[in-house]
Structure 1
Amino acid sequence: MAGTRRRNRRHWPDYLLARPRQGGLYYYWKHPNTKKEYGLGYDFAEAASQAREANSTLAAEKKPAERLTNRIKGNDNESMTAWLGIFEENLKRRTGKNGQNRSENTIRSDKSRIKFLREGFGPEKLIRHITPKDCSDVLRPLLDAGKIRMAQAIHRTLVDAFNDAISNGWLELGKNPAQILDAPQPVVKRARLKLDQFIRILNKARSSAEPWMETALMLAILTSQRVGDISSMMFLDIRMHESKEYLHVIQDKEGHPIRIPTELGLPQFPNTTIATVVEAAKNRGIASAKNICHHLVSVGYAKRGDAVHEQTISKNFTSLIRETFAEEERSQIWPGKTHPTFHEIRSLSKSLYKAIGVDTMTLLGHKSASAAAIYDEKRGEWWTVELPSKQ
């Protein structure tokens, strides 16, 4: 009987076991590595089916043996970490939009994302062994933490990195494991900033913040530029053109050169223009300072007269939000959303200028399908903002 039972089990799925119980033979599947046993019931057909499924899963997860041809070619050393080092150098040689040099912020972001990927995949993972699931596992901690935009950026970098690997012979055509993943879709939770809220924040800055913070806020509302551009604005950027004074801005993100008249202002801030804000910053600042927003006292690594970094401006804005609006009020005026960031001043400025007839597309350096041809014609030239007819 025993011999017959052994012969009958010759074609059983691997790791399937059976033991007699009061109800008959009870089947188990035994994990070959952990030795843990999983009960499968009395039905042989169902137990065998589940055992084969488990065995298939194990086989799929098993690291494939290195082929001799790959070892001869040296492909057994082609780790993801090694490729990311090459990819990072390739990115440095790329140009930005419209043929402009990639900005320092873009290069810094690239470096940060590649560092994240290195840590996520580890030092030994071969690039051709990476699966879509591996890519998903790298993104999962970001998604679980609610960092959707960062996950979205990492996913784009992953797709780009694998495509570049294909172009350079590290992967076969059509073998991009990140390509089939759905890109994380962010849900906009950040609240918009209203004019009355901005004025309250501005007044708080005037009474309790460093003087450069008021300057940064006023430059943001009057120029509609991003925080990085405001941090970089210099007194020498105020220059004459055809007998009129302009603030010259080369946008850090897009590289668009924009010429903004210093007479520009908003009716909500009477007797205030870009020119008066810059003059006030110069009068209360350091004579040797080059940047309009600069430190009046040494703070950390920043010395008197040094430019105020964009991150410092953003962090101080967040602090002002919390000082201006108590937690209970924040939850009432921005229910279910995070409070506005400094960048939201740009959106507010756009709406205020649009109401008085300023060409906000030129002012903000925005592109649209209808204006693409105009922008192509102006490539490399300054885009001059015109004053509204009523000003």
Structure 2
Amino acid sequence: MTLGKRIRQLRKERKMTLVDLAGDKITKGMLSLIENDKSTPSMETLAHIAKELDVSIGYLTREGDEDWTKQMLAESDFSHYFSFPFEHIEKNILPQLDRVSQSNKGMELYNIIRIYYRYRGEHGTADEYTEKIGKFYRSIGIEHLVVRNRLNDAVSLMYSQDYSEAYSRLVETEAEVMEFKDYDSQLELDYYYLKAVFSVSVDMKEFIPLGDRVVALSYETENFKRFFSANMILGYYYGLEGDMEKHKEYQGNLRKYLDFNRQEKYELELIDTTTPITVFYVLVEDRQRHVTLYEAYIENIEVHHEAGTIQSSNMTFYHPLFMIELSYFREDYRTVVENYKENMYIRSAAQHPIDRIIMATRSCIYPLSLYQLGEKQEAREAFGRIEDTIEDIKHSPFTKEFYMIRDIIFEETQSE
């Protein structure tokens, strides 16, 4: 959008006439020429127009096309768990990068492009976009968003599963996070949460104190955005470790939280609201209870989805997973084998290491079903393919159930 068109759009949005905006500083005719891009205003004139429109000069003169930028952001679901819009980016965005607006929306689009290059392993180019975003926020004097950009840069490395590098970059921001946390109450909370998540694959000794810091900080700041996830992960860890007292502590935190903070996303994430922290996803003690839970959960989601009370394109992908898992818990192994597809549990969106392990564990219903059907060699080969997907994090304490499943499938070979 040109300077003139931007001035006209802002004037009309504010229901101002040419005379209103021109005031006693410039003539109506001169303003008309500016709006039609037939005259270039002086800095003094720009300052007057910006003041009357209640925006900065930088906002008026920013480069790029704001409408096009918003359209590019709206045309695709960039938060989709199971797919990433490579084609949309390559066909519609990358060939027209000069149209990216130098605004907050433009920085959102730059972040998407950064993620695109992380996916492709082109980290040098991704880092260039980190610099572009930081430079923009620095130029308009919003330093806490410069720091926020560095946290988002670390998050972008999850798309290429470079957890160690993400952790290192986070640590480098700590002093700045503490310096600017008063300008952004979410900054410190996000920092500790992300550091806890990345520590799972870098330094497990830090994981527990960092997770507990997130929980404590949530109470201190009365900001509970990370509270659910932090308690879920901590409770999951202690459940796997067999420390059921600690497990119950975090379970209790979540029950209290859910009593007053039920959100749409929990309709999608929680199968059992009475015991929200799952410890074993496949090797459950009471299969019949699990069948009942799954049936009720699937019915509930379908009702909400049909009624439009839950809007989630991710349901297209989640629904087959829950249906195939329900077949497994019903001991309908043939249905599992016939409907399972390679990679159906692999999400392309940013996944932290624990999430990847959980998805790999859940996908083990396939080799377990093969094993139950007597196709033991095929089961072992299938397990091996799944194990390859978590090769970089296979020594994590969160893989306990995963390797319990392996022991079942390979039991005969181990006894030979």
Q: Which has the larger radius of gyration?
A: 1
Q: Which has the higher contact order (CA 8 A, sep 6+)?
A: 1
| TM-score with structure 2 setting the length | 0.23
- What is the TM-score normalised by the length of structure 1? 0.24
Higher helix share: 2
